[in-house]
Structure 1
Amino acid sequence: MKSILILCNGDPPSQQLFDKYRAKTDCFIAADGGANIAIDMGTIPDVIIGDLDSYNGSKKESSEIIFRPSQELNDLEKALQYAKKKKGTHIYILGATGYRLDQTLKNLSVLKQFSTQFQQLRMADNFGETRLLPRSFSEDFRIGTQLSLFPLSGKVTGITTQGLKYPLENEFLENGVRDGSSNEVVGNPVQINHKKGDLLMFVKHNND
């Protein structure tokens, strides 16, 4: 197993959140301007990758700097391709949301694009953690944890859940029609199955 942290140039994570994810990863990649955020927090990335139009460092950091000017890929895609090349298995992404809604939506789309290429792919911000669920999902959470389900696009069908305050039994969620926001964990394990579509799960951080 090789765990990798990727920091993008969106809404910066808190120092506490960054330290939490950095502590459980083996390698730290900054996607272009994410390097500015890292340096401001006193941390030097192992790798800085992108077209470097946002990175304003001295380029004298000890990081490996990879210039990839392709406009066909955004900086997160470039970072994930590099993580795959380095045989990363568990990927955590910070700074991929906030500021520009179009970039946030693009990065959520990237989750789908790369979801099958890693054993685990999660995106986190100061509020919570987001992941694209497999057809069958089971995990323990602290009782009372806030959890939401959203279709990434279109419609998700055949959703059945256990362990949530508002359960679903072979039901659907659809953009603009019905969503599964603001549910709550009431029992473990939480089990979520769906038959068709791309289902996102948002889990709110428990702040101890």
Structure 2
Amino acid sequence: MKVLIMTNGEYGNLEWYQEHKEGFDQVICVDGGTGWARKLSILPNWVVGDMDSVNSDDLKFMEQQGVQFCRYPSQKDLTDTQLSLQLAEKLGADEITIWGGTGSRLDHTLHNIYSAANLVKKGKTVRFDSPVLSIYLVKDALKLSGEIGKTVSVLAIGDGASGVTLEGFQYPLDNAEIDSMWQYGISNVIVSSPQLISVASGILAVFYYRKLP
């Protein structure tokens, strides 16, 4: 099952999302993500959160459309995004795409990536998508068809990664180890297609930039 999670982060060019909004079995809006859903004419299946950032008009519209709500108190241990990830897992998601999960709040971005990595450990496929950047969380292998000349960074998540192999890049790796406290996979460049990224142990965050900021 393919699940789309729409958070209330930064989106950018909405035309890109219009071109990529089909093909999901379930759509979950995280609180104020409902506003982005309405802008994109997407009717979600679920709205999750404490409703502190939902516009009252958007809230009323979703209620009138029969969208299901999972409401939580504002004072809680988990973030609304974590609760949405839990719901996606409960629904039986195999592939999860997250929109709006990155942005200028670096703490939120890191928190979202690490929270999503918890599902990757359980065998789920998770990626963050936007017009300029895709972040793939990789537990075993990723075959990427990126454009030659584009920038890709590879970071180890958690305790580090071993058996890391990169093919199709200016700086290849062969069965390497990456210490999460001393990374060296930043700003690699695609030189051939397709690209292969694999890891024997650990989780990698692969940042593919369509356009550098």
Coarse TM-score class (shorter-chain normalised)? 0.7 to 0.9
- C-alpha separation in 2, matches of 1:120 and 1:81: 14
Give the match for residue 65 of structure 1. 69
Give the match for residue 46 of structure 1. 45
Q: Does 1:123 align with 2:128?
A: yes
The structural deviation recorded for 1:67 is 0.7
CA 1:175–1:90 in 2, change beyond 3 Å: closer, same or farther? closer
- C-alpha separation in 2, matches of 1:174 and 1:158: 12
Give the match for residue 26 of structure 1. 25
CA 1:156–1:86 in 2, change beyond 3 Å: closer, same or farther? closer
Deviations 1:171-192 (A, max 9, x none): 3333453321222222344222
Which 10-residue stretch deviates more, 29-38 or 151-160?
151-160
Give the match for residue 201 of structure 1. 206
Which 10-residue stretch deviates more, 3-12 or 150-159?
150-159
Unaligned runs of 5+ in 1: none
Give the match for residue 91 of structure 2. 86
Which 4+ stretches in 1 moved above 4 angstroms?
none
Q: Does 1:10 align with 2:15?
A: no
Give the match for residue 147 of structure 1. 152
Give the match for residue 34 of structure 2. 35
- C-alpha separation in 2, matches of 1:118 and 1:161: 21
- C-alpha separation in 2, matches of 1:137 and 1:10: 26
Cα contact 2:5–2:98 (8 A) shared by 1: yes
- C-alpha separation in 2, matches of 1:13 and 1:26: 24
TM-score with structure 1 setting the length? 0.85
- C-alpha separation in 2, matches of 1:151 and 1:124: 19
Unaligned runs of 5+ in 2: none
Give the match for residue 183 of structure 1. 188
- How many residues are matched? 206
Give the match for residue 79 of structure 2. 74
- C-alpha separation in 1, matches of 2:158 and 2:92: 29
Considering only aligned residues, what root-mean-square deviation do their CA atoms show, in Å? 2.5
- C-alpha separation in 1, matches of 2:50 and 2:205: 29
